Structures are given as C-alpha cells and as structure tokens.
Structure 1
Amino acid sequence: MTSRNLSPQWLKFLKSLGIEFWLPLPLLGISFWFVGGWLTQYSLTTPSQNIIELQTTQPNYDKKIALIKVEIYPKKGISLVKVMKLSKVYRQSESQIILATTKIPDLERAIANELGLSPEQVKQKMRYRRQQ
C-alpha cells in the first residue's frame, strides 16, 4: 500500500486546494511581523555608539553683524572699517569706523572694543584689503 491510499479523504481535498503553499504564508507573515517589531523596538531603545558632536559654524548674530571689511591705508596710517549688519528683514546696513592704526592685532582689539564682541568673533567676520 502506498501513502496515498492511507491518507484520509479531507487531506486529499486540502491538497487539491494547494494548502501546502497557502498554509505557510500566514505563518511567515506573522513571524516577520514579530521579528520586525522586535528589531524596531531594540534599535529604538538601545543607545547609539556613533554619536557625533555637532559644531555650529554660523557666526554669532547677537549683534547681527554679518561681515567686517577692513581697508588698510599704510601711507596715511589709518584703517577704514565697514561693518555690515543684518536687520530684521535681512537687509544689510553699513556703518563705518576710522581707526588710527594699521597693525592687524591692534585693529582686531579696537574693533572688538568698539562693537562689544570677543576677539575670536571679530577674527571670524573680518576681511582685509590693503590699499596703496
């Protein structure tokens, strides 16, 4: 006798419907659902080891100063400082300062004192041009 003759009638009916193919699909779907949920929960609750400290490279806008242009006139012994400020509508306004020095470290200190900024902030925003 073969195994085909020993199987009950209902098993033959299920085999004719293709149950061997359809029965594992819900089981596979449920298992993917549980495993995916577990992986999501695990990845969201464990702290990451790849934390990168973000550093801002934007200038300090406490005084809303965008740029400081310095034109150095060594023959005259003066420097013309143009300070570009941003207003609330992002329009630029410009103010000028004339300093009686041409040495860059002295200029940076004088501008920092005049504008109330730190020397580091002034160095970040300054652009130089030496005139003849």
Structure 2
Amino acid sequence: MSVHRLRRALRMIVEFWVPLGILGVVMWLGSGWFTHQVFSQTYSPANQITINNTQQVNLSFSVTILSIDAEIDRQSSNTEVGIRTGGSSLQELEFEYPFVNYADLERAIAQDLGLQPEDIQDLIRYRLY
C-alpha cells in the first residue's frame, strides 16, 4: 500500500508541481524581458507643441478687498503680498515685490490695484522674516 501512495504522490509532483514551477520560471523570465523592452525605449513625441506668439489680456473687475497680508523677507529683499477679496469668485490675489520699505510697498500695491496709498494703509498687515 505504501508503494501505491508513493507512486501517486510522485505522479502528483510530476503532473502538477513541475509544470507549475516551469510556468513560474517562464513568466518570471518573460516579464523581465518585457520590462527591459519597455524601459529601454526612448520617448520622443511625434508632434511637439511650439508657441510662436503670446497674447496679453487685460482684465478689469470689481471686488471688495477684505485684507492685505504682506510678508517681508529682509534677507532676500522681497515681499510677498496676499490680498483676500470678497464679493466675487476671485478669492485671493498674490503679488511679489522686490523691496521691503513700507512706503514703497504701499505705493506699489496701490498702483497695482488702482487705489490710494492711504486706503492700503488701513487694510495692510505686515509680517517680518
């Protein structure tokens, strides 16, 4: 009886596990070859986009200015300005200015927004870095 079980176990190994192992090795080698083929190809798009002309668009709209936050970085001599707005789908404007002097900054913001520097002084908050 034990010889019969041994033959059956050997037959199961030969009929199931050996082909399964061979299939695994073939899949492993095939996926390695396929990966090499895909990653060794260079990418060159057929049509490259070139832009010959640029257009400038001027916008004008009416918003309510809620606050102006100026973050002054004295080391880089730059100021980042965030302007929160209301009454429009436009929520925030961001500007960057190449100076840190308060008066120059207020004049530049007023000029960009079409306001008076006195109006800017009432709304602006400064943060120094």
TM-score by length of structure 2 reads 0.49
Give TM-score scaled by structure 1 length: 0.48
